[in-house]
Chains A and B, each alone.
Chain A
């Protein structure tokens, strides 16, 4: 091999290590390795002592046959994800996007900013505000309105309707992401389509039905997959607001895995439970990149010199 060719190969390798190396090392250590660790861990008996004594299928046996709480948490997860998604993350987000784009721009921006507040503030703060709102005392914001304005008896939502509270708390945040994405999709509809429809005598509802909704078909399907996945795996607000309780009443599947590992010290069992979520995550991730614009992302570069 001539000298300049060898130098070129060396430079290519050096560039690879310099530019891509740091990212690949980090991803290997803290992203790929954890997946492998989790798979191995699922077949062990690691407990609070963090020691592994044997390889076993016991975790999967327990999941399949002996864990009645697991079945309850799966049912709860289904209710939680489906109702939050259908009521807030898609439908209400759509409603917000349509209404805030229909009013004058400054007012629309004001209300969008208000809806973004929960997303912009730290989760601990947002959860604390919910605790204040549903405080079972007469001090709670909700109870003040119920008692002083409507003259009703104070209610304890967190104790009696915990599922409703976590659906509302997650929904109010979920609605804002859909709102932003749907809004930018509505704003990118050519203005003349609206004028043409008006000139043809279409009312507001007809415009929504025949112009806005068809333009949103792709964002809606993307949001549905994306939000299903994120609702399925995230338990941050549930942990902060109800702690999964009372008892196990709001412990969705992902929180169940977390509590088994970090509350009961059953790390191996928690890892086995997480394995199910990991498989779902990989499948959904593969499904999602089919929806993305792959050809543009994979477009080859134009300079071959290193």
Chain B
């Protein structure tokens, strides 16, 4: 029927009908999408707002209470900007326009923020980075001198723990992953199944016996002991991740290396290992972040303050001066979060490659 009207000379009104139909469909789609974005914005607020607050007070709070004027002023600038950009993004599918809109909005937002709250920003809360006894200075009465180590000691401990744990995991998991991926040996199925059970098994339940074992072998309250425990309880997961990467390497290159006279070990080291570079990076980044953020095990197994890692430093700082000085606590938070967050953002393309049994880790 429609086709008939299209072919007749009076096709113009019908054609207009299509136009308005399309317009209405587009409008309805825009309405639906805006509703969905609005829904997401509302349910995400409880997450975005606290993190935003943390950053804002780390740059604005002064000793004593905490004023939130700056937070709400900043929100009044940022939220409209995000909303306007969302509408632009939904309505205009052209990339250059979108980028242009983003830049214009960012410039306007930054100028508005600078003029409204610019004079309230300061670096004072980050002075814990260069003044060793900052916590004692704030709480002269309650805290004995030297109770808090410099933040750089905690930073160094965290770094030592995370780096050594990562190196152990890289070495052990790639060796084991390669072996169970490529070698035939007696008991292979038993090893695989045992490791699968350990992988799914919640290691948190073993915290009491692990504490005692470290105590008995004299590794309690040492970075080395915690490092071994953390490396082991995550090991089955990394072995399977590495096995997955080795499984994906074609057999042909190994075969040809061996027909050229290489031994299995040489083939592994010189030919196969370079092929799983992405897997090694993914495992390294993930293992580093996990150790960097660990709390329960370090809380239980590290006691003396010279062994504190960043999570313990932050915990005790907040425990001590939470009510007195929000700004410093927030600044320590930002300092602590930043390395792992940057790693996540910049290594995301490696992390998404990790799969195990069809489940992304």
A and B associate in one complex: yes
- Give A contacts to B, CB under 8 Å: 12, 15-16, 18-20, 22-23, 26-27, 29-31, 33-35, 37-38, 41, 50, 96, 99-100, 102-104, 106-107, 111, 114-115, 117-118, 120-125, 128-133, 139, 141, 144, 172, 180-181, 184, 204, 222, 229-230, 232-236, 239-240, 254, 257-258, 261-262, 267, 270-271, 274, 277-278, 281-282, 284-286, 288-289, 292-293, 296-306
Taken together as a complex, chains A and B put the C-alpha atoms of A300 and B179 apart, in Å, by 12
Inter-subunit contact B208/A33 (CB<8 Å): no
Inter-subunit contact A37/B212 (CB<8 Å): yes
- Contacts A20-B179, A31-B206; A124 near B232 (Cβ below 8 A): no
Inter-subunit contact A124/B311 (CB<8 Å): yes
* Chain A residue at minimal CB-CB distance from B180: A20
**Which of A19, A121, A125, A240 has the largest number of chain B CB atoms within 10 A?**
A125
Q: Which residues of chain A are near B359, meaning CB under 8 Å? A: 181, 222, 292
Taken together as a complex, chains A and B put the C-alpha atoms of A266 and B46 apart, in Å, by 39
- Contacts A37-B212, A141-B53, A254-B204; A30 near B232 (Cβ below 8 A): yes
Q: Which residues of chain A are near B247, meaning CB under 8 Å? A: 299
Inter-subunit contact B210/A104 (CB<8 Å): no
Give the interface segment out of B6-14, B105-113, B124-132, B181-189: B181-189
Inter-subunit contact A107/B292 (CB<8 Å): no
Inter-subunit contact B315/A124 (CB<8 Å): yes
Q: Which residues of chain A are near B160, meaning CB under 8 Å? A: none
Question: Is B152 at the interface (CB under 8 A from chain A)?
Answer: no
* Chain B residue at minimal CB-CB distance from A285: B200
Taken together as a complex, chains A and B put the C-alpha atoms of A128 and B293 apart, in Å, by 14
Q: Which residues of chain A are near B171, meaning CB under 8 Å? A: 22
Q: Which residues of chain B are near A258, meaning CB under 8 Å? A: 207-208
Q: Looking at chain B, what size class is its interface with the partner chain? A: 35 or more
Residues B18-61 near A (CB distance < 8 A): 32-33, 36-37, 39-41, 43-44, 46-51, 53-54
Inter-subunit contact B296/A50 (CB<8 Å): no
Taken together as a complex, chains A and B put the C-alpha atoms of A125 and B318 apart, in Å, by 10
Q: Which residues of chain B are near A99, meaning CB under 8 Å? A: 36, 39-40
Main secondary structure on A side of the interface with B: helix
- Contacts A34-B209, A233-B204; A240 near B295 (Cβ below 8 A): yes
* Chain A residue at minimal CB-CB distance from B295: A123
Taken together as a complex, chains A and B put the C-alpha atoms of A180 and B348 apart, in Å, by 13
Inter-subunit contact A103/B40 (CB<8 Å): yes
Question: Is B159 at the interface (CB under 8 A from chain A)?
Answer: no
Q: Which residues of chain A are near B293, meaning CB under 8 Å? A: 121-123
- Contacts A128-B318, A184-B360; A304 near B184 (Cβ below 8 A): yes
Chain B 164-198, CB-CB to A under 8 Å as 1, else 0, gives 00000001110110111111110011011101111
Question: Is B270 at the interface (CB under 8 A from chain A)?
Answer: no
Chain B 287-303, CB-CB to A under 8 Å as 1, else 0, gives 00100110110001000
- Contacts A26-B232, A27-B235; A125 near B337 (Cβ below 8 A): yes
Shortest distance from the beta carbon of B55 to any chain A beta carbon, whole Å: 11
* Chain B residue at minimal CB-CB distance from A120: B344
Inter-subunit contact B172/A26 (CB<8 Å): yes
* Chain B residue at minimal CB-CB distance from A121: B337
Contact of B89 among A106, A298, A304 (CB under 8 A): A106
Contact of B208 among A38, A144, A180 (CB under 8 A): A38
Question: Is B341 at the interface (CB under 8 A from chain A)?
Answer: yes
Taken together as a complex, chains A and B put the C-alpha atoms of A106 and B92 apart, in Å, by 13
Shortest distance from the beta carbon of A241 to any chain B beta carbon, whole Å: 12
